């Protein structure tokens, strides 16, 4: 089973707040893959809004996104796109 990972920078102004965490969790639930976000040695299941919010990821922080499973590559690409799009927040 392939495990992939990529390091991303949180660029949206509010970081991983409720709306961004919800978008990320909903995206991750679509895939047949386990998605984990790591920040400062803390890990969160990316399909859990609460777990993501507990990471307290603010703007400028670096996170490591890991995916594992059937859709690992597609999941990683879409999660990276969500970060690149600043969680579709028009700041």
Q: Which residues are catalytic?
A: 17
CA separation (Å) from 33 to 54, 68, 69, 71? 21, 5, 4, 5
| CA distance readout (Å), 11 to 18, 19, 27, 33, 43 | 15, 15, 18, 25, 19
């Amino acid at each position: 089973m392939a495990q992939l990972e990529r390091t991303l920078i949180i660029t949206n102004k509010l970081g991983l707040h409720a709306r961004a965490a919800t978008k990320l969790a909903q995206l991750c639930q679509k895939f047949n893959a386990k998605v984990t976000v790591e920040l400062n040695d803390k890990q969160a299941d990316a399909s859990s809004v609460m777990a993501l919010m507990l990471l307290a990821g603010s703007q400028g922080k670096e996170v490591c996104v890991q995916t594992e499973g059937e859709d690992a590559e597609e999941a990683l690409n879409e999660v990276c796109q969500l970060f690149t799009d600043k969680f579709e927040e028009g700041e």
